[in-house]
Amino acid sequence: MKASLIIAIYNNIRFLKAILDSLQFQTEKDFEIIIAEDGESTAVKEFIQNYNFEQPCQHLTQKDEGWRKNQALNMAIRAAKSDWLIFIDGDCLLHPRFIEMHLRFSASNNILAGKRVKLDKSTTVKLLNNSISINDLQKRMFNKLVFGKGTIKFIEESFFISPDGLFKFIPKFRKNNKLVGSNMSFSKKAIYAINGFDEDYQLPAVGEDFDLTWRFDAAGFNHVSVRNLAIQYHLHHHENWSDQEVNMEICRRKQLENNFVCKNGLIKK
């Protein structure tokens, strides 16, 4: 298979179903699904066991002992059967050409960095209720842009620009050298070179993406933007955190020490 799609989740079946349902529209079909659960919910397990998957699926769990997303992601990396790893979160729907675009620009030395549009509540509700489909979103985003985007954030990230079309030059100018944990991909070679996600981080943000950005840079990998190519729609929900200072302090210390190959990662050192 060409890719492993790793979905990080925590106890939200409704969002997970919406993601899995949207995968049937992917233009690229040759991938596996890895659901990396930071917990071991019986309800999630039963839902996955009864879901009609089109692709092979692995469901990986761990004890629910607080925020341990990085441990779950490292577990998924070890289990992945493909050499190309695509990471998304359990609250993000994918444009039909999402996996195709991540594979199109894949290379062993490339780190692919995408963005996401943050949907408003009304659009999210319509998606979850199947009032609109993933294929309707491009038109809906254009209408929102023209007539008023309301509370939608980063709406400019929602428009797919074909790399084979008339405006293919535009994504080349929209650089992105900072990883977003919900829309990134790289090879097993790359992530093993920095020993995976650093499990020293015990709170959301920074350790899932910002930390990887500088570590990949230090290891000599190339950041390649897939903005307006690998489109992702973030479902509206209440954000449960805001203060990132604890994680930033951990990150600053590791940067000063130039510890880009973490000790508490895929392999314990």
Written as one letter, the residue type at 54 is E
Instruction: Provide the domain limits for residue 195.
Output: 3-119+157-256
We report the CATH number of the domain holding residue 164 as: 3.90.550.10
pLDDT at 202 over 80: yes
Kindly state whether residue 268 falls inside one of the protein's structural domains: no
Provide the number of structural domains found in the chain: 1
**Measured between alpha carbons, how far is 242 from 244 in angstroms, rounded to an integer?**
6
* DSSP code string of 181-236: TTSEEEEHHHHHHTTSS-TT--SSSSTTTHHHHHHHHHTTPEEEE-TTTS-EEEPP
Kindly state whether residue 141 falls inside one of the protein's structural domains: no
pLDDT at 14 over 70: yes
Kindly state whether residue 137 falls inside one of the protein's structural domains: no
What confidence category does residue 243 fall into, taking pLDDT thresholds of 50, 70 and 90? Answer: confident
pLDDT at 195 over 70: yes
Q: Quickly tell me which residue has 């203060």 as its tokens.
A: 243
Kindly state whether residue 148 falls inside one of the protein's structural domains: no
**What are the pLDDT digits (tens) for 138-160?**
888 888 888 887 889 999 999 99
- For residue 30, give every residue at least 6 positions away whose Cβ sits within 8 Å of its Cβ, in sequence order, or none: 1, 2, 3
pLDDT at 47 over 80: yes
pTM above 0.75, yes or no: yes
Averaged pLDDT for residues 186-211: 95
Nearest to 242 by CA among 205, 213, 212: 205
The two structure tokens encoding residue 236: 């509206």
Kindly state whether residue 129 falls inside one of the protein's structural domains: no
Nearest to 98 by CA among 6, 28, 16: 28
130: left (phi over 0), alpha (psi -120 to 50) or beta: left
The two structure tokens encoding residue 19: 């993601």
What percent of the chain shows pLDDT beyond 70?
99
**Measured between alpha carbons, how far is 222 from 109 in angstroms, rounded to an integer?**
6
Kindly state whether residue 140 falls inside one of the protein's structural domains: no
**Measured between alpha carbons, how far is 93 from 140 in angstroms, rounded to an integer?**
15
The two structure tokens encoding residue 241: 């955190």
Kindly state whether residue 132 falls inside one of the protein's structural domains: no
Averaged pLDDT for residues 205-228: 95
Kindly state whether residue 266 falls inside one of the protein's structural domains: no
pLDDT at 134 over 90: no
Q: Quickly tell me which residue has 């190309």 as its tokens.
A: 84
pLDDT at 241 over 70: no
127 vs 239: which has the higher pLDDT: 127
The two structure tokens encoding residue 219: 């290891």
